[in-house]
Amino acid sequence: MCGSHLAAVLLSIIALPLLGGAQAPQLPRATQAIPDDTIITLQRGNCEGGCPVYRVIIFSDGDVIWNGQEHVAKTGVILSHIEPNQIRALLASFEAADYFHLENIYGYRGKACPQADIGKVMTRTTLVTGGRSQTMSHYAGCVGPVPDQLSAIEKKIDQTVNTSRWITGKTPAK
């Protein structure tokens, strides 16, 4: 699957300029500069029984803001930092999901989730970069390949920023 996807990407890079077709801006590769306007956000909502409610904002320069609200060890605002290569890795995960071309239909009772059970977590992600922006609502009761990709992005943001230290209050052993 990866091989055929790569072939398709290379073909589109070669073919589309020849065809004069418009191409969506590529997200920055490993050595490319991260656009100054890049902002990535993750918001997790409540659930039955009580789930961590928090927001994370990542800026292009690596600054991270944590805003813990409920069911977390650290409530309030904390400033942290991640490295450029970590931001690029996050952007790559958005690209792998073709995030900018997804329809926002995976929320509670969204078009793709008409039968979603009540009481589960609603998560929202936002990506702003290179003049484009997209927000996706992802209700945990919504299943399928796209929700799985959204879950992977959300999990990667959590892991990259290491939100578990603020959710649990425990620093993982090195």
Residues that bind another protein (CB under 8 A): 45-46, 48-50, 53, 69-70, 107-109, 115-122, 139-141
Nearer to another protein by Cβ, of 107 and 147: the residue is: 107
CB of 89 to another protein, least distance (A): 25
Nearer to another protein by Cβ, of 26 and 135: the residue is: 135
CB of 129 to another protein, least distance (A): 27
Nearer to another protein by Cβ, of 63 and 117: the residue is: 117
- Write phi, then psi, for 27 (nearest 5 degrees): -75, 150
Helix (H) or strand (E) holding 79: strand 76-81
Which of 27, 32, 31, 36 has its CA nearest to residue 9?
Answer: 27
Alpha-carbon span 38 to 83, nearest angstrom: 14
Question: Residue 8 CA to chain centroid, in angstroms?
Answer: 23
